[in-house]
Structure 1
Amino acid sequence: MSVENHKVFRAAVKAAKRKFFNEHIEEIATTNKRPWDLMDWVKECKNPPCKAIQFNDIFITVANRCIESGHWPKHFKESMSVIISKLNKPSYSTPKVFRPIVLLNTPGKLIEKMISNRFQHNMIKYDLVNANQMALH
């Protein structure tokens, strides 16, 4: 296959994919006006570390207790700031040459992610999101 033929082929494939997906999105947007129905089609991006600890672990128990009590432990809110200097700068006498990074409590971040996923799932499952909140343009 020549380079020119390959370019034509790739352009045709790209156009066919775009047409298919646009038609599918249009169909969902016009027939039932529920963009959430696209979620199964798109597939959720999964956070592997969160998924790895999600089942049969102490983090589930902690997340459940936080929800039940309505309390978020103070140590989950704590953070540590680290200042990193940018490389190859002529002078390190100005603040612009440093990059501050905030490190959050990892178990707290994982539990927040699990709670967020659970709330999002329940909002969709129990139809708590108004269709007008998510509009396809």
Structure 2
Amino acid sequence: MGQGGTLVLDSEGLSKVTLNDRRVMGLVRGALEEDMRVVASILTLIEAHHPRVNQSRFDWALSRLVVEPVSEAIGRKAMALFKETGLHGHKYAIDAVVAATALRAPGPTVILTSDPEDLELLCGRGVRIVKV
């Protein structure tokens, strides 16, 4: 697996997988059929989890993807993206990590997100952004 690129889920993408959203599940199934890796940053898991999450569905969703750690390289890439875009602070920190994760992943790379504007700014043309 992994020869076909990477599909990255942000918090909303992961939440919609957990909720078995028809459109998002179709995108995930399509990615897997195309031999793409489906990934989420560990920070995305933390952001998407809350007391009302159905834990068994959340665990099921996680079993279908690769959880990427926040390595020093990812952190440094996220900081470089801040410098390049002029963004900063906690409001954009997780988006910057998602973008850095996507930019370092084997391409072609797609991010499923509810926040396309910030991720388009952070990723530039290196990643396809799909609003979910």
TM-score (norm 2): 0.20
TM-score (norm 1): 0.19
Larger relative contact order, structure 1 or 2 (CA cutoff 8 Å, min sep 6):
2
Structure with higher strand content: 2
